[in-house]
Amino acid sequence: MKLICVGRNYAKHIEELNNDRPDAPVIFMKPDSCLGQKGQPFFMPDFSNEIHHEVEVLVKINRIGKHIQTKFAHKYYSEIGLGLDFTARDVQLGLKSKGLPWEKAKSFDGAAYIGNWFDKSQFSDLNNLSFQLTKNNEVVQKDTTANMMWKIDEIISYVSRYFTLKIGDILFTGTPAGVGLVERGDILTGHLEGEQAFMLNIK
Ligand code: ZN
C-alpha cells in the first residue's frame, strides 16, 4: 500500500512557503512504514527541530486502476478521511536548497497519520468539504476543498498516468495555509464537515 501526496494544492499555502505556483500537481509518495499506529501518539524524531503539521483531506482507493479519466475517477473511491502529513521542515528546506529528494523530511516513521474514514455518500459536495485542525484548542488550519487547485477527481486522473492505483492506496490531497510547529505535549484534533476525524497527542 502506498500513500500518494500532493504538494502545493492550496494557493495560500504556496504563498506562505514562498513557493512558485506549479503548472502541474507536485506529487510525492510516502511508504506504509510512515503510518502511525492507531491510538498511539506521534513521537518527535531526533533529527529535526522543526516538525510541522499539515492537515489534509484523504481519499482511499477501492479499485485497481491506471489511466483513469477524470469523469470516471469517482468510481475509484467510496471513503473520505482526514489526516496529517508531518513534515520535518528544517530537513526539507536543507534538501530542497540542494535539489535533493524529500524523503528524509516527509517519509520518516510516523510521518503519516490517518483519522477515521467517512462514507463519501454522507457528504453533499466533495468539492466543498470544510475541514480544520485544532492545536491545543486553537484553530490553526481551516479551509474547504473548494480552494484546491486540483480537485480530487483530477488528482486521481493525473497520478494514475504515472502510478497504478491499488486497493487501499491513500491520496493526501494537499494542505491549506496555517502549517506550523508541533511540540511535545501538543494535542492535535481534526474535523471534517464538523465531525471529529482524529485526536492525536505529540510526545
Ligand atoms: Zn502535505
Domain map (residue ranges) of the chain: 3-201
Query: Cell numbers 503519516 correspond to what residue?
Result: 112
Cα 42 to Cα 155: distance, rounded to the nearest angstrom? 28
Question: Taking phi first (over 0 means left), then psi (-120 to 50 degrees means alpha), and beta for anything else, what does residue 58 get?
Answer: beta
Which CATH class, in words, describes the domain spanning 3-201?
Answer: alpha beta
Q: How far is the CA of 122 from the centre of ligand 1 (A)?
A: 25
Q: How far is the CA of 174 from the centre of ligand 1 (A)?
A: 5
- Residues ≥6 apart with Cβ < 8 Å to 36: 42, 110, 112, 113, 114, 200
Q: How far is the CA of 5 from the centre of ligand 1 (A)?
A: 7
pLDDT at site 20 = 79
Query: Cell numbers 497519520 correspond to what residue?
Result: 113
Q: How far is the CA of 112 from the centre of ligand 1 (A)?
A: 10
Q: How far is the CA of 65 from the centre of ligand 1 (A)?
A: 23
Q: pLDDT by residue for the chain (203 residues), tens digit each?
A: 999 999 989 988 778 888 877 888 999 999 999 998 878 999 999 999 999 999 999 999 999 999 999 999 999 999 999 999 999 999 999 999 999 999 999 999 999 999 999 999 999 999 999 999 999 999 999 999 999 999 999 999 999 999 999 999 999 999 999 999 999 999 999 999 999 999 999 99
Task: Give yes or no for a contact between 13 and 22, defined as CB atoms under 8 angstroms apart.
Answer: no
Buried b or exposed e, range 16-51, using 16+ CB within 10 angstroms: eeeeeeeeebebbbbeeebbbeeeeebebeeebeeb
